[in-house]
Amino acid sequence: MAKRPWKRRSLRCPTWNYASRGWYFLTLVTYQRTHLFGHIIDGTMILNDFGNIIMSEWEASRALRPHMHFDTIMVMPDHVHMLVYMKHNMVYVPDVSLRVRARLPKSISSFVAQFKATCTRTIRHTHNDTTPVWQRDYDDQRPRNKRHVHNVRRYIRDNPRNAPPTLFYNRAYQSSP
């Protein structure tokens, strides 16, 4: 495989320990913003099979990751919003001999990587579909106080209702002439 002349920059803050205690508002976006997970009708998100796989993995994650609190999720046609809380500070001593920054176990990045991989694998296995599911990265914000956490919860919950009506119109559900 040829070496790439460029290196993608990470969206992660290089000085932040993503295994540390606190709230994380995460947004995962589908590949090329394809509407994979359902559609919105009258301000309500209607999940399709792929969207239900996302919700099933969210529920499975609760049992698999006792070090995290899974607060709020909203699956939209082309992205997923999540609000999670890391319950404990995970302390890791970085291995300076590694030239590549390793993903920390029990961190937000390891959760997102496993979540995306499991959802993709399930979609491909159950639907014999090789369509790319996710964009490479994810967006994260750190709500700093209770008011900010409350605002993020409200934003996630109201997201389908506040989406522009034409933005997530799915032609697959258009009635035939």
The mean per-residue pLDDT over the stretch 13-30 comes to: 79
The Cα 159–Cα 161 span in angstroms is 5
For the cut 50, the answer to whether the pLDDT of residue 145 exceeds it is yes
Q: How would CATH label the architecture of 22-91+102-166?
A: 2-Layer Sandwich (3.30)
Q: Where are the domains of the chain?
A: 22-91+102-166
Tell me the residue length of the chain: 177
For the cut 70, the answer to whether the pLDDT of residue 118 exceeds it is yes
Lowest mean pLDDT among 26-30, 94-98, 119-123: 94-98
Alpha helices in the chain (DSSP H): 49-64, 108-127, 146-162
**pLDDT of res. 107:** 87
> What is the distance of C-alpha 5 from the center of its chain?
29
Q: Are strands 44-47 and 68-75 parallel, antiparallel or unpaired?
A: unpaired
For the cut 50, the answer to whether the pLDDT of residue 173 exceeds it is no
**CB under 8 Å to 52, separation ≥6 — which residues?**
none
| CA–CA–CA angle 44, 137, 85 (5° rounding) | 65
State pTM to two decimals. Answer: 0.80
Q: What rounded mean pLDDT belongs to the chain?
A: 83
| Per-residue pLDDT reduced to its tens digit, 64-99 | 999 999 999 999 999 999 999 999 876 655 555 554
